[in-house]
Structure 1
C-alpha cells in the first residue's frame, strides 16, 4: 500500500521551501569483484580476486576453501599454506620450572576468514585464544593449557603477513604475562617480540579499560621499522609469582588468557576474569586478527617500464604501491576511486555527492560529481565557485520583490492545502493507516476517490451494525458496497485494525471479500463486493416467497463451509466470527451464502479461549458461555445452530432470559416432535425427514457444554452426510450435484471428525 497521492504531491514543494541546497546524486550500482564466471561469495563473505574458491578463479597462493557443511557456508584460507596449530597440554608439580608443556593433543586447522578488502590489501581471520587454567585450588596443582600457534608461510614465502599496525597483544588474568613468540613455537617463552603484564589485587577492576588491572595490551613498537615480517607466531605465558593462597583469586579466577587480536576490538569486562575457559567459550571460533597480503613475487615497474606479464594491477584508475610489510607490491585505486584494483574495470569513480562527508560545497552551491572528484557550481541567480569560496547573489531588487510576492501567494495556498492535507493525514493515522498500508489484498482509497465511486454517497442500500451502507461502482463497472464503520479512537483503533487485517486474509467463495478501505475520514469506510439478494434474514423473514428445501440446505452447507474456513485458515492462530446470525449471511443471485460483518472477529491462540467482560453481538443468537465471559470458536457453532433452527422453522430467533426460543425447539426434538416445528411451507415427507435430520445437527450445535459441540467442519460434513444418506435411500435423487458446494469434502458417518 502507498500513502494517498495528496501527501506525495505536497512533499516535494515543502522540501523545496525548507532546504537551502539540493544534492544531486546517482544510484551506485554493484561493481564486480571477482573474475567473470567465478563465485564472489562464500556464505556471507565476499571473495574478491586475487582470492577465489575455484580453479582458474584465484592467483597462486590466494586459494579460499568454501566449507558448505556449515549454514551459512564459511570461508577458510587454503590449509597447505596458512593454518593454526591448536592443542592442549599440561604441566604439574614444580610451578617455578614450567618452561615446557607436555602436549596431550594438538591439531592443524585452517584460518577462517571474517572478511577481505581488496582496496586496502587486508583480510581479517579468526585467531585462537591461548589459555592457562589451574585445575585445583593450590598454586602447585595441575594446570590445563590451551596452546595456539599461527603459520602464515610454509614451504616458501606466501602472500600473508601479520599486520604490525593493526594488531595488538592482549592478556587477561589476575597475574599473567603473555608473550608473542616469533616462529610460531607453542612450547617456549624465549625469542619473543612483545609482552605485557596484567596484575590485579583486591578485585580492583575497571570495565572497558585495559591498563594492567586484570587486562594488559601492547602494540608493536612505533620506533621500529615496520618493514619486518611476521609469518609465524604464537602466544605463550611467562611464569609469574602467584598471589598468596588466602587472596582467593586462584580459586575464583583460575584461568589466564593471551591473544593476538585486532586493535580496539576486544572490550575488557570483569566477567571475563571469573570462571573456567570464559574467553574460549565466549569466542569459540576465535578472535579477529588482521593480515596484510601482497603480490610477493614481483615489484612495481618503474615509470615507463612495461609491466610484467603476470602484473596484478590490471584495473584502470589504479596504481602500484610497495607492500606495507615484507617484499612485493599491492594495488591501490586512485584517490576518489574505489573497488577492486586486481580486476579489469574494478576501480570505479566514487560519487562524492552521495556522501556529504566527502564533499565541501558552500551554501548556495550544488554538488556535481565528476570523474575522480566533484564540482560545486553556484545555484541559478548566484555567482562564484562553491568549492573555492561562498556564492554571492546577483539577483536584482525588482525581481526579488516579484518573486517574494509570488512566493507569498504560493505559501498561502500551500498553507491552506497543508491544513487540509494534515487533517486528512490525521484521520489516516488515527484510523490505522501506517499499519494497514502494508496489509496485502486490500487497496486504500482516498476520500476523493470514494466520493467518485459512490456518486457522492447517493444511494443507501442498507444500514449495518455500525452505520449506513452505500452502493458504488468501480472503473471496471463492478458494483461494490461501501460500509461506514465505527468512529475510531485510541481505545477502538486496534479493534478496527484487527477487523481489517482479518477480513483481508479471508479469500473464500462463502465469505464476503473486503476489497479496500478509506481512512481519510473521521469515520473510516470499508469496501466489499456487492451481494445482490441481501441477507438470509431478509429472504426468510421479509420476503414471502417460498424457499425450497434444497436451497435451504445449500445455504446451510455454504455458510458452514465459510465459517469452517475462518476457523482453520491460520496455522498459529484461529479466528472466531463472534456475531453469527442470519442477518450476517448474505446471498448472491444463485443463493450462494457469504459470511459478512466481521466487526467482532478476533484472532485467538489455537486451542485457547478468550475471557472478556464486553459481550458484543445479537443476544438472540449468542452463546450462553459467551454471556458468562468465555469466548471460543464453539460460540460461533452455537450461533450457527440457531441459524439452522431459522432455516428449519422459518421463525425469527428471539431472546428472553429463559431462552424460550431455543428451549422449545430442543424440547420438541427430544420428544420426537421436531416435525411440528418445521416450516408449514415444507409439505413433502422426504423434505420433512431431511429437516428432522438437520434438527439433530442443530441440537449438536446447541449443547450447553461448548466442549461437547461439533466444530464447524463437522457441522458441514454432517449436513452433507444427511443429503448423501437421503440419496442412498432414494428419498430425493434431484439433490445430487446441487447441494454439495465442495465435492472434495469427505463423506463422514454421524459422530466422525
Structure 2
C-alpha cells in the first residue's frame, strides 16, 4: 500500500477487536458435576462450568454469564457489557475534490459478547467475534463498519480474566485489493495483503489464504505489551476503489486458527461474510483467576479465596491482562484425574481400564485401576510388564524344537528369495542395456530413475490421468516435485541407441514454452519417461471438455503466442533442427497460470539420423499437412500448417475434424473477402475484439496455404503474435 499524501489518505482503518476459542472436552466415564450444587450448568446447548456461572453465588468475580431466553435455544453472553462488549461504529464516507475519503457521518452501538463454549482443563473459552467490513455503495460512496471487541474492566485499573490467545488465533483479510493490519501496535504496519490484480478470479484458490483474494497473518505481541493481548484491532485498508462494481466489500477479522476456509464466492456481493456468519466468527480466549495473587509457594497456606479447591488439583501461575503485571493463575487436575478443579471434589479419578486406546495394557495383561493410575500385571503363564508390552509366554522345551524347524524353513525361504532377486536384477540389467542405458550414462544429460521409484506411481489406479497413441500418463510425486510419468506402449519405441538419441535431444530442449523432460527409467520392458506436470491439462481439454472453463481473448492470444514461441525454438534455435510432426491442442499443455508448453514432439527421433522421409504418417489426421500426406516429406512447414488449424480452434472453440470442415469454412470466408464473424467463439466475438480476431484468422489462413513456400516460418508467426500480445497488455 502506498503511503498517503497530506491531501490524499486511504479509507479509515476499520478496527476489529476479537477473542479466541476452545472446545469443551466432555468428561470420560460418568457425568460429573461442573458447578456448585443448586447452580444451573447449562444455557441452551452450552455447558457453563464454574468459575463461570449464571446466578449470584454461582460464579467468580469477572466470570458472570447471562442467558438470553428470547432465543430458541437460549444463548449465553459474557455479562456486564461495560466490561466485555463489541463496539460497532458505522462510518459513511464520500469522495469530494479536496478530500476524496471524507467521513461525514458515523453511528456507534454496543453489543454483548456471545459465548460459544468453555474448556476449564485448557483454561480457554470460545466466543463469537465480529467481522470488520469496508463496502462501496457506488463509485464515490463508502460504508465502513468498524467493529471492536473489548475485554477487561474499562472503569477500573484492574485487568479482567480474559485475553485473546495469540497462539490459537490469526488475522484474516478477504477482498480483491486490501491490506490488513493486526492492530496489535500503534503503527500502520500491514500484517498481510490480499490482491487480485485486474480482478482475475482464476488467480484465487478455494481454501488458500496466500494473498490472492484472502491473506492470513499471525497475531503479534509488540514490545510495548508485556502480557497477553486483551485488545486486538486488525485494520482493513482499501488500496483503491476501482473494483466497487464487482466486489463492493472487503473484510478483516481475527479468527480461530484453521477455522476459516476461504471460498471465492466470499469475494462477491454486499456483506457476504457477515451473511455467512451472522453471529460472528469463533475466537479463542485464554482465561485465568485474576485477583492480585499468584500460586501459593510449597508449604504456604492458600489465601481464603483460593480457586483450586478440588483435591488432586494443582495451581499454575499465569499472566492475563493488558498491562501484564497482574498476578494470576489457573487450576488443573492432577495426572490421571479429570473434571473441574475449581469445585470441591471436581477432579475425579480416571478409570484407565475403560480407555485402552489411551492407556496401554498388553493383550495378555490384566488391567487394574487404582487411584492416581493403573496397573497391568501379566496373566498366569506369562511374565513381564503388561504396561510396556512385555508379557511373554514361558518357553517350554518342546517349543525350542519347533523354533529350530521354523528356522530351517526360514533359511530356505531366504535363499530362494536371494535367487529370485538375482534373477530379477539380471532381467532388469538386460532391459536397461536394450533401452540404451549405457549411451545415456555417457551423455550425463538426464536423470536415470530406478524402477522402484516409479512403479508405485504407475501401479496406482488413482494416479492415471490420460492415454494417447504413445502410451498412458500418470501423475505422482517424486521427492518434492509433482511429475507426469509416461508409460510407453510395448514395442512403440525405437531400440537401443536410437531411443537414447531421442531422449538426449529432448533433454537438451530447455525452453519455458516446451514441456521439460526430467528423466527416464530404462529398467523395464517399455521405458518410462518423466516430465514436468502441468496442472491445467491440455488446450484440448480447456476448449472442448464438458466442464470447459471461461477463456477470454487475452488468455487465448497468450496461449497462441507462447505455443508459437515454443515451436519456433524447436525449428531454428536448437543444435539439431527438431520437427514436431503432431501439433494439436492435445499436445499443448497449460500450467496453473495458463502458460502454454509444447509436449510430445516424439517424432524428432526420426530426424536424428537425417531421415526426413517417413514410411508411415504420424499425427492426428485432423491437423496433418495435406502436402505431407501426398509426399511423405516432413518439414517445418508441416508444423506451420498444423499450428494454423490450432489457431482456428482457439478463436472458434470448434473441434477440427477429418473432413476439414473448420478449415474449409475459414478459407471460404477468406476467399470471398468476408469477415468470419459468425465462425468466432461467441464468448470473445464482441465488437471491440473483431479486429484482432480477424488478424488471428488471417495468420491462420496464411499457415494453411497449400503452397508450402508461401507459408510463413514459425519464427515470423511467433514474432507477430508476440507484438499483438504485447499491444494488448501495454
TM-score range, shorter-chain basis?
Answer: 0.3 to 0.5
Compute the TM-score of the two structures, normalised by the length of structure 2: 0.47
